Structure 1
């Protein structure tokens, strides 16, 4: 089988797709990957073939706060989300679709697999012209409409009372006005320009149904209850972390010296300002001789840290999460979805502080699941971080809940589940064609 992978040009979107691409290649499938040219080295380092995307869609999301100063001025919330969806995900949609159409002709793939924010698959799916089946892999929480009416974005926990329902309705009305409805109108205008019909619902809800299968890379117990889900929505467990070929750092044996291990990361997207989480965490825990504090800067030079590393801290641009997480006692994170799921797969409880992108929603699920503490801020103080780490380390309920989630992850054979879904989708398409 030949599979065409299509990724939004951001490492946090591409890495999950590369994980699936490696699975497919390992069993003998032919794989082609299209994304921004800046990420071509990631594709080629995985031993996969890169296909360029149209110039109008050839973006690089790794340093948005530097390259897009207009976005940097927007506070977290509906205005920033609207900007992201319109400028980053919908403006490239026509060019992404044109790239896919060209690659369908050139490569004749049996299947297209894209991340859920690569909107170029929507025009392909809505177009009555024949096309390969489309599988979407979510790189974030399940963005279905909530049964309790809570809107996407603010990170509201499930409603339990009539007061909660009323709160959700009021906040949803505001979010709909400032984000959901304008984004749908923007998407509909883009589709109309391509001669296609409007969406039949909010963009991200509709995207879940613009495919033949929708992969959710977590377990049901780390997602809210949406009731009975359509058969094409499948929970597939956590995708593996990117493999690391770098040698282990010289301090690695210290992980076994009896101290509790705290890992702090801001991921690869919201890491322009390391003073948001990494630096206050280092300051908060600097005097704790009982802790070993590990920092990964998400690819940025360690020298970018504005303070000297305390005696109990070690830092690296990247760390091998698959090997490291089983040795970690608490993860401090701004709420990157992939990182959070990898931690829970390893049974690691979490302290989370993040509001940008999808992070408020991820943080809310950490707290709701019982596997960690949500500080519900983008700029936590050192005092709040210190108290949060103490809370997670002291009260074993967080670790017990994280370990229960780890057992749920362990029960899923993720490669087998994903590859069987791809095979079923492709075989159904073959049957229809025959």
Structure 2
């Protein structure tokens, strides 16, 4: 089988698609992956063919002139993911003609697949691998993006409906209108629903790399949706540091990260976490800067802390007692799959929703802020470390993850949609 993979040029989006690409290639499928040129070496090192997609490095765009809030998030979303649609779609059309793939597998924010899904040109089946929480429209009328847990009462549902009207006016409707305008310029019909909901329901198959226990009850799910569990992370590109091997293993480890995107200001989470735990001689505090220089951290490094630009987190998590994170979906999923409880503090991008699920699931605490105070962090970390119910709930989720073979589920799903397309072609012929 010939597979075309399309990935948004962000590490958290690239890695799961690379992991799936390796599995496809390992069983003998021909795989070509398109993304930004700067990921060529990484793609080729995975044994996949590379084809560049030059969308002007749109995914790395940051809006620096606005405070956190719907307008800033709208501008960033539009620039990162909607503006590249024409370029990405043209790349896909060209590769479909040149490669004749049996299936396209795209990350959920590689929106260049929308013209294929909405257009009338012949196309192979399209599989979307989600890189975030399940962003279907909520049956309790909660707006997507504010990080609200499921409503428990009619009064909460009514309140959520009011909030949704405001969120729709400020973010959802303008984003949908902007995307529809882009599609119209390409001669395509408008989206059938909100943009996030459309991304989930339009593909032939939508893969959600988590377990149902970490998602809300959406009622009847779309027939194209499949929960798969988590693909193991790609082999670490960095070795375990010497200090990790030589550490005092009697001391619990607290790992803190701001990911690789929302890490421009370490004063939001990493620095206050280091400060909150600076006097804890009974802990080892480990931080990763997501590729930024360690020297970007301000102030002296506490004696109980170790910092590195990158760390082999997948290899370390089984021995980590707590993850402190701004809510990146990949790191959160990895932690839960390893049974590690979480303290979350982040509101940008999709992080409010991911943090809300951490709190709702019982696997940790969600501080629901971009910049938690040192006392708030200290109290939350102590609570999660001391109260066994958080680790017990994280362990329960880890068992659920272990019960799903993500690789097999994803490959089987891809095979199913390809087989169905060939059957339909045979019937039509």
Distance in 1 between residues matched to 2:393 and 2:65, nearest whole Å? 38
Matched residue, 2:253: 261
1:139-288 to 2 correspondences below 5 Å: 139-255=131-247, 257-288=249-280
Matched residue, 2:19: 19
Distance in 2 between residues matched to 1:238 and 1:246, nearest whole Å? 21
Mapped contact 1:371–1:401 kept (Cα < 8 A): yes
Distance in 2 between residues matched to 1:409 and 1:10, nearest whole Å? 24
Pick from 329, 332, 349 the counterpart of residue 324 of structure 2. 332
Distance in 2 between residues matched to 1:241 and 1:357, nearest whole Å? 22
Is 1:117 aligned with 2:109? yes
Distance in 2 between residues matched to 1:308 and 1:43, nearest whole Å? 38
Matched residue, 1:40: 40
* Count of aligned pairs between the two proteins: 426
Superposition deviation, residue 326 in structure 1: 0.5
1:400-419 to 2 correspondences below 5 Å: 400-419=392-411
Q: What is the TM-score with the length of structure 2 in the denominator?
A: 0.97
Which sections of structure 2, spanning at least 5 residues, go unmatched? none
Matched residue, 1:59: 57
Superposition deviation, residue 252 in structure 1: 1.6
Q: What is the TM-score with the length of structure 1 in the denominator?
A: 0.96
Mapped contact 1:237–1:409 kept (Cα < 8 A): yes
Note closer, same or farther for the CA distance 1:60–1:128 as it changes in structure 2 (3 Å cut).
closer
Pick from 377, 383, 386 the counterpart of residue 375 of structure 2. 383
Note closer, same or farther for the CA distance 1:303–1:242 as it changes in structure 2 (3 Å cut).
farther
Mapped contact 1:78–1:153 kept (Cα < 8 A): no
Q: What RMSD over aligned residues (CA atoms) do the two structures have, in Å?
A: 1.3
Superposition deviation, residue 256 in structure 1: 5.2
Mapped contact 1:114–1:135 kept (Cα < 8 A): yes
Distance in 1 between residues matched to 2:240 and 2:333, nearest whole Å? 23
Matched residue, 2:3: 3
Matched residue, 2:283: 291
Mapped contact 1:2–1:31 kept (Cα < 8 A): yes
Distance in 2 between residues matched to 1:202 and 1:255, nearest whole Å? 50
Superposition deviation, residue 254 in structure 1: 4.1
